[in-house]
């Protein structure tokens, strides 16, 4: 059981966080299933978000474009893109 705050926020119980492997900064969504119940689920990042993060990091690290491209390809392979 949880309590709704003034900002309509709730704390996700530890057993749910562990079950869904939810960490600080993860994205979650609440969706309605076919029975009309609301369900919390973790939302994964898409490949574009990872590439954007890499590009920002590469700029900060002054990484050359060849190394950045290799990193992007490696990440793409892990997503079966």
Q: What is the pLDDT of residues 17-69, one digit of tens each?
A: 999 989 888 889 999 999 999 999 988 766 676 677 777 777 666 667 777 77
pLDDT at 66: 75
| Whole-number Å distance between alpha carbons of 38 and 48 | 28
pLDDT at 62: 67
3-class SS shares of the chain: helix, strand, coil, % to 5:
45, 15, 40
pLDDT at 60: 67
CATH class for the domain made up of 1-43 = mainly beta
Read off the pLDDT band of 77 (50, 70, 90): low
| Whole-number Å distance between alpha carbons of 52 and 72 | 10
């Amino acid at each position: 059981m949880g309590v709704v705050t003034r900002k309509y926020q709730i704390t996700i119980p530890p057993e749910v966080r562990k079950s869904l492997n939810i960490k600080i900064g993860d994205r979650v969504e609440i969706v309605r299933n076919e029975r009309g119940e609301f369900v919390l689920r973790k939302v994964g990042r898409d490949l574009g978000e990872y590439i954007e993060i890499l590009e920002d990091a590469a700029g900060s690290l002054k990484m050359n474009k060849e190394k950045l491209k290799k990193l992007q390809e490696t990440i793409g392979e892990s997503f079966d893109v």
